[in-house]
Amino acid sequence: MNRITSTTSNRRMLNDLATAQRSLLRAQSRLSSGRELERASDGPARALAALDHRAQLRRSEQMQRNASDARGWLVAADTALTSAVQEMTRARTLVISANSGASDPNARKAIADDLRALREGLVQLANSKYLNRPIFAGNADVPNAYAPDGTYLGDDGVVLRPVAESVTLQVNRPGPAVFGTSNPGDPMSGNVFERLDAVIAAVEAGDHAAMTSALSALDEATDLIEAAQVELGARAKQVEDVAARTEILDIDRRQALSELEDVDVAQALIDVRAREFTYQAALSSAARVMQASLLDFLR
C-alpha cells in the first residue's frame, strides 16, 4: 500500500482494538461461564459428542434405577425363598416325627395342625410382594400369586429389567417354576401345596407308607425352591456387579463430558491475561500513534 491516509489508519486501529476487545470478552465469558461450548457452533464435533455422552449418561442413570428395582425384586424373592426352605425343613422334621414315634391319633392330629399352619405360612410366602406386586405371579395383574387353597392365579410371564447396556436380566420366576406345577390327579407329584395336603391327609390317617413316600416328594419340592433361590441369588450378584461397572463407566463418561464442555480454568485464566495484555498494548500504541502528526513539528 502506497499511501496511508488518516481515515485508513483510524479505521485500522479501531478495527484492531475491536478485535482485541472481542477476543478478550470471549475469553472472559468462557472463564466466567465455565463452559467451553456455549453453543453447538463453538465446536460442532465436540457438541455432537457431548450430546451423545449426555444421552448415554441419562440412559445409564435410568439403568441404575432399573438395577435398584431389579435388586428390590431379587431381595424380596430371596427373603421369601429362604423362609420357604426353612419351612420345608420343619415340615420334613414334623413328618419324620409323625412317621416314627407318634402313633397316638391326638399327637398325629397336633402334627397335622402344625403342618396345616405351615402350609398357610408357605402360601403367604408364595404371595410375597414387591411394591405391592406379587413377585411369583408372572405378569398377571392379580392381588396374590396363590389362592389360599393353593391354586396358582398368575401366568408364566417373565419380568425383565435392562440393568445395563445390552444386559437384560429376568428378575422373577413364575410360581410353578418355584413351587411346582399343579397336578390334581396325583397330588404327590403336584405343587408343594398339593403335596403338603397329601402329607397332612397321610399324617391324619396314620398311613406310614404314604408318609415315607411323601418325605421324598417334599425333598423334591424343597430342591426346586432351593434351585430357584440359588438362581435368583446369582442374579442379584450379577446386578450388583453390573451396577458397579456402570458406575465406573459413568465416572469416565462424566469426565469425558466435562472435558468436552467445561473450560480448563488455568488455560482460560492464561488466555484472559494474554488477551488483556494484547488489548492494553493495542490501546497504548494506538494512543501514541494517533497523537503524532506533522503539526507537532511545525512552528
DSSP state of 149: T
Nearer to other proteins, 12 or 273 (CB): 12
DSSP state of 296: G
Q: Does 32 bind other proteins (CB under 8 A)?
A: no
Q: Does 6 bind other proteins (CB under 8 A)?
A: yes
Question: Applying CB under 8 A, which of residues 5, 106, 288, 291 lies at the interface with other proteins?
Answer: 5
**In the range 68-127, which residues lie near other proteins by CB under 8 A?**
69
Q: Does 12 bind other proteins (CB under 8 A)?
A: yes
Using CB under 8 A, count the residues that bind other proteins. Answer: 52
Nearer to other proteins, 65 or 245 (CB): 65
Query: Which set of grid coordinates corresponds to residue 191?
Result: 405343587
CA nearest neighbour of 146 among 192, 112, 115, 185: 192
CA nearest neighbour of 209 among 181, 188, 190, 189: 188
Assess contact for 179 and 192: CB atoms under 8 A.
Answer: yes
Only segment of 108-116, 157-165, 184-192, 244-252 that touches other proteins (CB under 8 A): 157-165
Question: Applying CB under 8 A, which of residues 65, 237, 245, 254 lies at the interface with other proteins?
Answer: 65
CB of 277 to other proteins, least distance (A): 23
Nearer to other proteins, 42 or 219 (CB): 42
Question: Applying CB under 8 A, which of residues 15, 100, 183, 284 lies at the interface with other proteins?
Answer: 15
Question: Applying CB under 8 A, which of residues 50, 76, 196, 272 lies at the interface with other proteins?
Answer: 50
Residues 236-268 as b/e (b if ≥16 CB within 10 A, e otherwise) read: bebbeebbeebeebbeebeebbeebbebeeeeb
Binding map of other proteins across residues 248-267, x = CB under 8 A, - = no contact: -------------x------
Written as one string, the DSSP assignment of 38-65 is SSGGG-HHHHHHHHHHHHHHHHHHHHHH
Give the 3-state secondary structure of 253-295.
Answer: HHHHHHHHHECCHHHHHHHHHHHHHHHHHHHHHHHHHHHCCHH
Residues 139-153 as b/e (b if ≥16 CB within 10 A, e otherwise) read: ebebebbbeeebebb
Question: Applying CB under 8 A, which of residues 25, 117, 147, 160 lies at the interface with other proteins?
Answer: 160
Question: Applying CB under 8 A, which of residues 13, 17, 31, 47 lies at the interface with other proteins?
Answer: 47
Question: Applying CB under 8 A, which of residues 101, 131, 149, 184 lies at the interface with other proteins?
Answer: 131
Q: Does 25 bind other proteins (CB under 8 A)?
A: no
CB of 147 to other proteins, least distance (A): 17
Written as one string, the DSSP assignment of 174-242 is -HHHHH----TTSGGGS-HHHHHHHHHHHHHHT-HHHHHHHHHHHHHHHHHHHHHHHHHHHHHHHHHHH
Q: Does 288 bind other proteins (CB under 8 A)?
A: no
List of residues contacting other proteins (CB under 8 A): 1-8, 11-12, 15, 37, 39-44, 47-48, 50-52, 54-55, 58-59, 61-62, 65-66, 69, 131-133, 138-141, 154-155, 157, 159-162, 168, 261, 293-295, 298
